[in-house]
């Protein structure tokens, strides 16, 4: 499945109260690899940004006056997002704005276009409970270079979030293996699903068991009987 990491910048905090999208940035991942097939739009929101919002994104009202309206780029955006998994940090915020823009032009909510929406903020809260999980905090924690992020920008933030998502989900892949040189074959490279194979279980032979017991005995002697398996076994025997 294609994955699209998406971010928006807006005139304020509430789509229901009339705030609009001024910038959309999208980064494409195929098999967890950046493809370079990205999308970036500046939009005329037909209203001014709040002062506090300007401090966050720094995109002036004057700069946006000659940019297209959302309705002018909607078809291209929806075609790009079609059937993809969309990855967003604090997804309810961005989705509420996208849905409002679609509603204003008589369109359906985004869920009718995409395969699913993944919220990296919720993922981060599960992995790092009780910690700050802003994009900047996650970049620091997951060693993603965000030194160029002085102001919020939709495309830059989407690129950073793509790296954060890859690091956040590292080690959670299914047992899949590419065959051949995927760099030459592109996204159509054949894949072998290792889950379909029944892996044999090879038991240790007598000699290997003896060597293992010898090693354990040496470790137990060196720790004066305080090895974990000895103390754990004693505790279990007392309970029994």
Q: What secondary structure does DSSP assign to 203-238, as a single string?
A: ---HHHHHHHHHHHHHHHHHTTT--HHHHHHHHHHH
Instruction: With cut-offs at 50, 70 and 90, classify the pLDDT of residue 184.
Output: very low
CATH class as words, domain 2-179+187-193: alpha beta
CA angle, corner 115, sides to 34 and 189, nearest 5?
Answer: 45
Q: What's the pLDDT at 1?
A: 81
The mean pLDDT of 213-226, rounded to a whole number, is 81
pLDDT in tens, 86-95: 999 999 999 9
Q: Which of 16, 12, 18, 36 is nearest to 26 (CA)?
A: 36
The mean pLDDT of 178-204, rounded to a whole number, is 57
- pTM for this one? 0.71
Instruction: With cut-offs at 50, 70 and 90, classify the pLDDT of residue 27.
Output: very high
pLDDT in tens, 62-121: 999 999 999 999 999 999 999 999 999 999 999 999 999 999 999 999 999 999 999 999
Q: Is the pLDDT of residue 127 over 50?
A: yes
Q: What's the pLDDT at 201?
A: 74
Rg (CA), the chain: 26
Which of the residue ranges 5-14, 83-92, 202-211 would you say has the lowest mean pLDDT? 202-211
Does the annotation count 152 as an active-site position? yes
Instruction: With cut-offs at 50, 70 and 90, classify the pLDDT of residue 171.
Output: low
Question: Which range, 83-87, 142-146, 166-170, is most confident?
Answer: 83-87
Answer yes or no: are the C-beta atoms of 178 and 189 closer than 8 Å. yes
Which of the residue ranges 26-30, 52-56, 187-191 would you say has the lowest mean pLDDT? 187-191
Tell me which of 50, 152, 188, 212 is the catalytic residue: 152
Dihedral (CA of 132, 135, 88, 189) sign: negative
Q: Where does the chain hold its CATH 3.30.420.10 domain(s)?
A: 2-179+187-193
């Amino acid at each position: 499945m294609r994955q699209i990491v998406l971010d928006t910048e807006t005139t304020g905090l509430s789509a229901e109260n009339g705030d609009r999208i001024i910038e959309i940035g999208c980064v494409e991942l195929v098999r967890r690899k950046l493809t370079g097939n990205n999308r970036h739009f500046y939009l005329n929101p037909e209203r001014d940004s709040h002062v506090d919002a300007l401090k966050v994104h720094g995109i002036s009202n004057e700069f946006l006056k000659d940019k297209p309206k959302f309705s002018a780029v909607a078809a291209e955006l929806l075609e790009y997002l079609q059937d993809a998994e969309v990855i967003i940090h604090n997804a309810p915020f961005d989705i509420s704005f996208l849905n409002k823009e679609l509603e204003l032009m008589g369109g359906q909510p985004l869920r009718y276009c995409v395969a699913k929406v993944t919220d990296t903020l919720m993922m981060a809260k599960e992995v790092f409970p009780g910690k700050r999980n802003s994009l900047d905090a996650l970049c620091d924690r997951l060693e993603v270079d965000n030194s160029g992020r002085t102001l919020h920008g939709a495309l830059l933030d989407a690129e950073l979030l793509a790296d954060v998502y890859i690091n956040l989900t590292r080690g959670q892949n299914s047992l899949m293996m590419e065959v051949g040189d995927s760099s030459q074959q592109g996204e159509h490279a054949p894949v072998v699903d290792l889950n379909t194979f029944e892996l044999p279980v090879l038991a240790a032979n007598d000699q290997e068991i003896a060597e293992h017991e010898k090693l354990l005995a040496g470790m137990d002697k060196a720790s004066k009987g305080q090895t974990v398996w000895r103390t754990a076994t004693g505790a279990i025997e007392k309970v029994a």
